[in-house]
Amino acid sequence: MTPAFLYALVGIVLFSIGLYGLILYKHLLRKILAINILGSGVFLVMVALADRIGDAVPDAVPHAMVITGIVVAVSATALALALMLRVNEETGQAVLPEDREA
């Protein structure tokens, strides 16, 4: 198995771990961490599939898309953290209303 396919499999496993965490955990900070891991898994699959080329220069378009994706992910994380802090300030815990117990 070439390194490319190995990393693609790792990316798929990371995606599912992130999805598991996103669905399962109630705390918003954990959800944000899960979204980041999910994103990293997707990026890994994209760049791994671009590396199937052997010894030549790899395909640059997925690399550019992943760089764009990383920057967008950090922007979304910053906005999500600001929202989480507001939820925490208004309600005392960083948990969405439907997940709150009592």
Pick the closer one to other proteins by CB: 71 or 97: 71
- For the segment 25-84, give every residue that binds other proteins (CB under 8 A): 25-27, 29-30, 32-34, 36-37, 40, 43-45, 47-54, 56-68, 70-79, 81-84
Tokens in use for 82? 């600001």
Rounded CA-CA distance 2/55 in Å is: 12
Smallest distance, Å, CB 96 to other proteins? Answer: 14
Q: What sign for the dihedral angle of Cα 46, 49, 55, 59?
A: negative
- Rounded (5°) CA angle 93-39-32: 5
Pick the closer one to other proteins by CB: 89 or 98: 89
Residue 96 touching other proteins (CB under 8 A) = no
